[in-house]
Structure 1
């Protein structure tokens, strides 16, 4: 429901009421009291004169667009995207938009067709590489129609990625520089070496506590690759993964290997992973290059932003089939988002009510964060055209499109019928690569 509200001075805003999962929530697209002042503040905070091209999501009632237009330099362009046609219609009917519609520097992309919007935006970016300032109007993001939930996520994720700080980027670069000195072999030496071999990817979602002990039965029947955060929970149960991975750039990752620095299990690390941690691990190490940190390598990975998505991409490139996820909840389950004894903990709080919701494996609706939701969508897109079996044996959490959802006990009995000597196979591959630790 959409309703125009006027303040005492005749200035208008739009109240948007939406229903989701039986709950109704309302918000205003602009301040009820001082929309012009709010718009001026927004424009000054988000406009960057260093960029000639600006892409803004959210037309709203146009207040902030007028303010940004007033800041545009000579030759600058402002592209405004709006996916909610009801909002745009309300602006046309209730506001004087002449200064926007007649401005030759402002270009509107108004459509409920997200494919059309995506194509237009991609062309703008391709034509103006490294010269685009992305701006999102938060209240407009909330008003994206529910049928375009994925588009809403893309816009929110776009906004999230803008917040990455210079300090974070410097940390990545410093880690990459230090890690390069290790001369570790590329994880690509494993690519295509495990064709049609079952691979289990172990994460530390809260549902890992339900079936972690079953992984003992899967040992030597599936190649087990664990996230660094799952290493301790596994070893505490005398379950040794065949490989484990660390991708996080923060030094706190050292807690994942503390006390296990010399266990001899090969570590796969992202080129930008915390060099402090990686240098202190004494076992075999393999580096995974990605994106702009590819080091000119023939073998690269698609990280996807999390350790689980990185491992999944590596498992696919290894040739694994089926590929089985365990502990990959991608949501808060009983108020937690990590298993016990892992390197992360999370307790339910009322703040979760402001998070996104996602369909669970049993049709229930679960709370999730934007980051976890991005991993879910990444996984679904990554496996979309792969001709192999993907199984989510997490036994809880979010439903992942394109995967079979099967209990781990049934996966073991139905899919893991052969025995393998993974330790010897891995050592043989490492020796061929000249790894100094073997």
Structure 2
């Protein structure tokens, strides 16, 4: 096996299978016609009739030193251009991760023919990114959310391999820089340590457990209903929904209908009865959507609620057909409540509708009312929306423009919708077993969907006659009580870990404060010993559920921000650097202790 084959095999088995497939396909069907490699490992660009490097070794040394000077103690570095891979090889020992961005498949092939990078490609130390990859946003969101990356995203800067790239690929560099910043900001917003949403979700979950165990087990719904139908419609509450109501009413007997809770009053008003109504809101206002309905008219509609749904909403539905589903998340998976089942509920109710449709095996998922943008009148929802047709406008979320449905022109959206759209695109791209037909006919374009009018969708997929299914049974009281006892035992263990962590964090904080208050010039050896003790506590944190728990993960982002502010100063003196890092860690422990105490107080409610 030659070097190129070995590297491509490492890509396929390790960090980037799509790129490996693309390289193999190129090698089978094409030849390098734009770039060639000479005996000095210089690359000649036939299109521009220029060598990539002046003097190969001299230029690589220059850019290596320039990058190292600007990235002292950085855990990762991003470089545009793979070149001949010699710069990459010379930098490997200085970083935990190196990300290489490139637009030219021929350059990937030439570079991977020169140097054996198979070990680094297999273990993720080196990640090669094809900036023309259709699913690049998915790749980047996964990379930036990994354990040793998300804390240090504020250190991101794009460096270049050599001056050739800056001269001939400046537009590509600007393009990928914009995409990277978009994905970094999305990760940071998701993990915002100052946001209280994750703790509210957790509080609601703790309060909902007892009623969840008395509701219809979600897993039974999946077992009894999976693959019964192929075609469904997901109804969201965007301003375009009103124009689709006549067709939806006409064809409702031909499709299974999933309805976001906010869209329900408009459907009910028009005698359209959904098969599933979903809710995941943290607040109790969704009760307004259902106050004046005749429950008997709903027949065998199932209400599917998230574990984070506000307890008042759960109690409102407790005497009708409802199920509470657990989020596919480490904190909930460890409960091992597979009789109740898990679902990726996302952050918006539409997302939850799509994942439920996928879990039930639907092949053709038609989307209406998913505008994710204001209409030309400035409305965020349909006219009769109970909370107001301009409900999002009054939230004062920063607005921006994005590509419109149909791919022509732009529409006005806001940051939360734009983040949601990106998450939907990841969901749709990762579930190619289903066809997603965006029949909204308005709003923002959503990638990885097929845009088709609602009328065409109805004609194309109305060949099934929907059969009303029986409602799955709840658990017996005896079995429900057994599950509750098991949950309480698991949470007792969690509480013990939290108490132990709190005790250790307070002890460490007091020790660090005492040391730092002395205001002495502490010797390097002493500072290194303190740093080792901090690392021991960090290791304990990372081995416990606390680090991977999305409820608390944002506080580790805060830790990384504090460290990054020091790293970016490029302090040469080790004593000064360590002293600043120790102070930053001491200050961060205050936040950790505060959040752990909140988590502890919430958890105690179940007892």
TM-score range (shorter-chain normalised) is: 0.5 to 0.7
8 Å CA contact 1:189, 1:433 repeated in 2? no
Match of residue 154 from structure 2: 136
Report the equivalent of 1:288: 325
Equivalent position to 1:403, from 449, 452, 464: 449
TM-fit CA distance, 1:246: 0.4
1:371 to partner: Cα distance: 2.4
Instruction: Identify which of 385, 405, 413 aligns with 2:459.
Output: 413
The aligned runs of 1:75-94 (5 Å cut-off) are 78-79=74-75
> Aligned ranges for residues 292-311 of structure 1 at < 5 Å?
292-294=331-333, 295-298=335-338, 299-311=341-353
Q: Which residue of 2 is the match for residue 332 of structure 1? A: 374
1:253/1:122 CA distance change after superposition, 3 Å = closer
Indicate yes or no: 2:191 matched with 1:162. yes
Could you tell me which runs of 5 or more consecutive residues in structure 1 were left unpaired when the two chains were aligned.
1-60, 70-76, 86-103
Contact map agreement 2:234 2:366 (CA 8 A) in 1: yes
Tell me which stretches of 4 or more aligned residues in structure 1 moved more than 6 Å: 104-108, 117-125, 137-140, 432-435
Cα-to-partner distance string for 1:373-393 (whole Å, 9 max, x where unaligned): 233233332233422332111
5+ residue gaps, structure 2, are: 1-65, 82-92, 104-126, 130-137, 159-171, 478-607
Contact 2:371/2:442 (CA < 8 Å) preserved in 1? yes
Cα distance change of structure 1 residues 285 and 171 upon mapping to structure 2, 3 Å threshold: same
Q: 1:110 to 1:190 in 2, by over 3 A?
A: closer
Q: Is the 8 A contact 2:363 2:433 kept in 1?
A: no
Which protein has the bigger helix share? 2
Indicate how the Cα distance of structure 1 residues 123 and 386 shifts in structure 2: closer, same or farther if over 3 A, else same: closer
Residue pairs, 1:64-213, within 5 angstroms: 78-79=74-75, 111-112=100-101, 116=128, 128=148, 133-134=151-152, 136=154, 145-147=174-176, 149-163=178-192, 165=194, 167-182=196-211, 183=213, 184-191=215-222, 193-195=225-227, 196-213=229-246
Query: Which digits, 9 at most, give the CA deviation of each residue in 1:348-383, with x for residues without a partner?
Result: 69x888524234225221222232223323333223
Q: 1:248 to 1:110 in 2, by over 3 A?
A: same
For the residues of structure 2 that align with 1:120 and 1:417, how far apart are their CA atoms? 40
> 1:33 is matched with which residue?
none
After TM superposition, give the deviation of residue 170 of structure 1 in Å: 2.7
The 3-state SS of whatever aligns with 2:411 is strand
The aligned counterpart of 1:320 is: 362
* 1:303 to 1:151, Cα distance in 2 relative to 1, 3 A: farther
Ranked by relative contact order (alpha carbons within 8 Å, sequence separation 6 or more), the top structure is 2
Residues 144, 152 of structure 1: 8 Å contact kept: no
Q: TM-score, normalised by structure 2?
A: 0.49
Please give the alpha-carbon distance, in whole angstroms, between the structure 1 residues aligned to 2:356 and 2:401.
29
Relative to 1, partners in 2 of residues 1:126 and 1:407: Cα closer, same or farther, differing over 3 Å?
Answer: closer
Where does 1:39-78 land on structure 2 (aligned, <5 Å)? 78=74
**SS state of the match for residue 379, structure 1?**
helix
Mapped partners of 1:204, 1:127: distance in 2: 36
- Summarize the Cα distance change of 1:419–1:354 in structure 2 as closer, same or farther, 3 Å threshold: closer
| Cα distance in 2, alignment partners of residues 149 and 83 from structure 1 | 14
Closer, same or farther: CA 432–367 of 1 in aligned 2, 3 Å: same
Structure 1's 396 and 156: CA in aligned 2 closer, same or farther, altered over 3 A? same
Largest Rg, 1 or 2: 2
User: 2:437–2:451: 8 Å Cα contact kept in structure 1?
Assistant: yes
* Equivalent residue, structure 2, for 1:4: none
Q: Please report how far the alpha carbon of residue 432 of structure 1 lies from its aligned counterpart in structure 2 after TM superposition.
A: 7.5
Q: Is 1:246 the counterpart of 2:279 in the alignment?
A: yes
Question: How far off its partner does 1:197 sit?
Answer: 2.7
Contact 1:393/1:407 (<8 A) preserved: yes
Q: CA deviation at 1:203?
A: 0.4
Distance change >3 Å, CA 155–CA 257, structure 1 → 2: same
The equivalent of 1:364 in structure 2 is: 409
Q: Tell me if structure 1 keeps the 8 A contact 2:233–2:366.
A: yes
